[in-house]
Amino acid sequence: MSSQENPEENLPAQHGTAHGAVSVADEKHPFADPGLPPHEHRVQDIDERAAKRSERTVALLFTVSMLATVGFIASYVTIDIDQSAYIWPIGHISALNFALGCTLGLALFCIGAGAVHWARTLMSDEELVDERHPIEAPPEVKTKVMADFAQGAKESALGRRKLIRTTMFGALALFPLSGVVLLRDLGPLPGTVLRHTGWRKGKLLVNMNTNEPLRASDVTVGSLTFAKPEGLEEHDHDFQTQIAKDALMIIRIQPDDIKDKRELEWSHEGIVAYSKICTHVGCPISLYEQQTHHALCPCHQSTFDLADGARVIFGPAGHALPQLRIGVNDEGYLEALGDFEEPVGPAFWERG
Ligand code: FES
């Protein structure tokens, strides 16, 4: 009698009578375990011809993989590296790369597909239940571990060898200090550097566009001019660092329009100099509305009233723009009368 006539002989062996750990509820285990659903045999399990077909399919896939590998080697040997081929819709590409990619991809795909088909159709698909074991160690193992530990402590003579014990604890306590020492590499501490800029008494205000010192007569009402301290040049190695603190906005306002008394005192005939660095997170302020005397930071729209001590009238900036006290020298050039009296830029530095 053939296996086709007696399909039962193709069926996988059953392990035990129950399928899964079937149990009924009792006092100790209040939830019944229904076990696994009944196993359904595949057609290959009961039909030898179907099993043969699957076998041939798997063999075909592995054979195609072998041929693709041979094609890969042949492509590598025979196709010139400079040869190109037109592949629709990609266009012209390297013939060698295309051949290598296709053959290698096909070889790998067929191995994978053959293995998957083999596992799904011919290998045993019987569900097995592997009960989870308790993670906790049994009492005798725990007792043994504690006994081993006590034995080890006794054999090390840690209690008796006080010198070793003391020096060991000292070594372990001191060792983390080496990490603390490494913190020095985070330095040097900024000190008061962040509180000072390049402005000093007598430093001329230089137009950042023309690189020429600014005369009071150069600044007209309604105009906005950006200035830097004399001596700071773009090719200086620390130019970016310095200009991030020194950049100024110079505007001229009718003195009668200036509402803040100190602003008026620190200006020269209505010419006022404010830090160009926004006090929110330090963007350069670049927009000025002459009608309202409002300066707008483009980053988050903080708005400062330059006629009223540059106080914040809108946006997230935390405090007014610092003002630089200015005057004119004997030759009519605008000059600083000192440094800023507060840190420029984000309010963070006020805590520095
Ligand atoms: S940096 Fe100016 S508003 Fe945010």
- Asked if residue 340 lies in contact with residue 247, where contact means CB atoms within 8 angstroms, the answer is no
The owner of tokens 């001596």 is 231
- Model pLDDT, residue 348: 61
Torsion angle of C-alpha atoms 31, 34, 35, 36, degrees rounded to 10: -140
> Where is 125: in which H helix or E strand?
none
Let me know: does 334 contact 205? Beta carbons within 8 Å: yes
Give the per-residue pLDDT at 176.
Answer: 87
Q: Quick one: which of 38, 43, 55, 63 has its CA closest to 119?
A: 55
* The pLDDT of residue 7: 46
Contacts of 321 (CB under 8 A, 6+ apart): 249, 274, 275, 277, 278, 279, 285, 295, 304, 306, 310
Q: Which residues line ligand 1 (CB under 6 A)?
A: 278, 280-283, 297, 299-300, 302, 315-317
Ranges of H-type helices in the chain:
43-46, 48-78, 95-121, 139-156, 162-174, 177-182, 239-246, 261-265
CA of 295 to the centre of ligand 1 (A): 11
| 112-115 contacts, C-beta under 8 A, 24 or more apart | 113/61, 114/57, 114/58, 114/59, 114/61, 114/62, 114/65
325 touches 336 (CB < 8 A): yes
93-135 pLDDT tens trace? 999 999 999 999 999 999 999 999 999 999 888 877 777 777 8
CA–CA separation, 43 and 344 (whole Å): 81
pLDDT tens per residue across span 233-282: 988 888 998 999 999 999 999 999 999 999 999 999 999 999 999 999 99
Candidate from 249, 275, 280, 349 with most ligand 1 atoms within 8 A of CB, to mutate: 280
How confident is the model at residue 191, as a pLDDT? 76
Give which of 279, 246, 275, 245 is closest to 348, Cα–Cα.
279
State both tokens at 112: 């994978």
Mutation pick for ligand 1 pocket among 274, 275, 283, 344 (CB with most ligand atoms within 8 Å):
283
Sign of the alpha-carbon torsion through 101, 103, 106, 112:
negative
Q: Which atom of ligand 1 is nearest to the CA of 316?
A: 3
Tell which atom from ligand 1 comes closest to the C-alpha of 282: 1
Best probe residue, ligand 1, of 278, 285, 294, 319 (max atoms within 8 Å of C-beta): 278
Q: Residue 83 corresponds to which amino acid?
A: Q
In the block, tokens 């302020």 appear at 285
CA of 161 to the centre of ligand 1 (A): 65
Domains and CATH numbers, the chain: 7-121 (no CATH), 139-186 (no CATH), 196-351 (2.102.10.10)
For the chain, which ranges sit under pLDDT 50?
1-9, 13, 15-17, 352
**Residue 251 forms beta bridges with which residues?**
224, 272
Q: Which pTM value belongs to this model?
A: 0.51
Length of the chain as a residue count: 352
What is the pLDDT at residue 28? 73
